[in-house]
Amino acid sequence: MVGPMSMSGARGLGVAQGFGVDVGGSGIKGSIVDFGAGTLAVERIRIPTPQPATPKAVAEVVAELVGRFGWAGPVGVTLPCVIKGGVAKTAANVDPGWIDTDAASLLSRSLGDRQVVVLNDADAAGIAEMRYGAGHDRLGVVLLLTFGTGIGSALFADGILVPNTELGHLEVAGGDAEDLAAASVKDNEHLAWKAWAHRVTTYLRAVEEVLWPDLIIAGGGVSKKADRWLPLLNVRTPVVAATLRNDAGIVGAAMAAAQGVQP
């Protein structure tokens, strides 16, 4: 099936379970996903990301991970890259060898030529949050932002994903937004919550200059501590914490694979 990635599409997944893999800078995590509950059906497995995280090395780890579950069906895989027709077009926080790699074909081959859908990590987290989490049944313009090593974005209009928005790379205060306000910057520069929230406010106001979202969902590891920083933001758009936490990428990847929609 080819068509836009949507909440309503997700409802018609047609199968009870799927499999998702989330490729991050430090870990590659995967599990079987229960589509009824929108949760992991079994405990996930995490394998450290090989360094350098070349396409070949990552493909081997993905095959090992899927094999450990004995899963034989379609597999969805996230990458921190723009993905066009299954091909990675950027590699901001991952090995540059991914650029122009046909990730969908490579991963399909490493998994015995089965159906594989590859999508941007924030887009995967977004489709999961829109179906099962903080964006459930939300129409209008909804923006999910993931604050981690970088800043990822997933934009929805009435539940339909606009893929590869890359709003983490807006130019803000003369530099790349994610160099200003990613969660990793808070750690690296030892910023207190207040100082970091001030930077996030600067960033969100830049986003608000070009978009008028009805809702912003804040995801990434720092969403666990949302009470420490969301109340400190000073922006016009309501901002809520993502609810699926670390599993959103895995769940969204599995949904995309079940839908068979390759962005």
3-state SS, residue 1: coil
Give yes or no for residue 92 binding ligand BGC (CB under 6 A): yes
| 18 makes contact with ligand BGC (CB under 6 A) | no
Binding mask 178-197 for ligand BGC (x = CB under 6 A): x-------------------
Residues in 62-81 at the binding interface with ligand BGC, rule: CB under 6 A: 80-81
Window of 87-95, 101-109, 190-198, 255-263 that interacts with ligand BGC by CB under 6 A: 87-95
Q: Which range of residues in 44-52, 89-97, 184-192, 235-243 is near ligand BGC by CB under 6 A?
A: 89-97
Beta strands (DSSP E) in the chain are 17-23, 27-34, 39-40, 45-48, 75-79, 83-84, 87-88, 116-120, 141-147, 151-157, 160-162, 171-172, 175-176, 215-219, 239-241
- Which of the 8 DSSP states describes residue 31? E
Q: H/E/C letters for each residue in 109-123?
A: HHCCCCCEEEEEHHH
Calculate the alpha carbon distances from 61 to 93, 112, 256 in Å.
Answer: 18, 14, 20
In terms of Cα–Cα distance, which of 116, 150, 108 is closest to 260? 116
22 counts as binding ligand BGC under rule CB under 6 A: no
263 binds ligand BGC (CB under 6 A): no
Binding flag, residue 120, ligand BGC (CB under 6 A):
yes
Q: Which residues contact 174 (CB under 8 A, 6 or more apart)?
A: none
In the stretch 144-183, what mask flags binding to ligand BGC with x, by CB under 6 A? --x-x-x-x-------------x-x---------x-----
Nearer to ligand BGC, 13 or 185 (CB): 185
Residues lying near ligand BGC in the complex (CB under 6 A) are found at 80-82, 90, 92-93, 120-122, 146, 148, 150, 152, 166, 168, 178
